[in-house]
Amino acid sequence: MRSQAGAVLTSLLACVLTAGCGFFPGSRTETCVDWIRFETPQELFDDAALVVVGTPKGRDGKTSIYGYSSQVHLVEVETVVKGQPGPGLLRVVSTPETCTGGVSYPRGDPLDGEQRMLIYASRQQDGWFTLTPAQGAVPFERGAALPFRAS
């Protein structure tokens, strides 16, 4: 009887330990995404569903993707290079880095500020998200030539 009770206790303890923090209120699951690194701006352009030149004009709430809190930004679109964003200010979510222990933007949110940017986006969860955390929004100086062939 004693060995049976020990086995049950050991099994219960193993279940609790492998469940992690799932029993605690407010727990969440985070996904670790292995982001593709695009070798050229042309690869970014080809993979994106939407490419615009625009300027972030402020934050517009938060959403969640891959278990991380993600910042929504309003972008004033100057030029649509690819895709159809719709009328008015464009809502773009700055895709978070993952595998960072719950910190969405350890190197800073690339859409913070009011710098003119080239934004490469994909459609997810009924909204626009930067293609990757590191390459989805890059500074784009006025007068600069597009770094890809838009066909």
- Indicate which CATH number applies to the domain containing 117: 2.40.50.120
pTM of the model: 0.77
**Structural domain contains residue 112:** yes
Residue 130 lies inside a defined structural domain of this protein: yes
| 148 within some domain | no
The distance in angstroms from the start CA to the end CA of the chain is 75
Count of domains for the chain: 1
Q: Has residue 16 been placed in a domain?
A: no
- Asked if residue 14 is part of any domain, the answer here is no
Whether residue 34 lies inside any domain: the answer is no
Rounded-to-integer distance, Cα 97 and Cα 31, Å: 10
Query: How far apart, in whole angstroms, are the C-alpha atoms of residue 151 and residue 143?
Result: 20
Task: Give tens-digit pLDDT for 74-124.
Answer: 999 999 999 999 778 999 999 988 887 878 888 899 999 899 999 999 999
Which structural domain range is residue 53 located in? 41-139
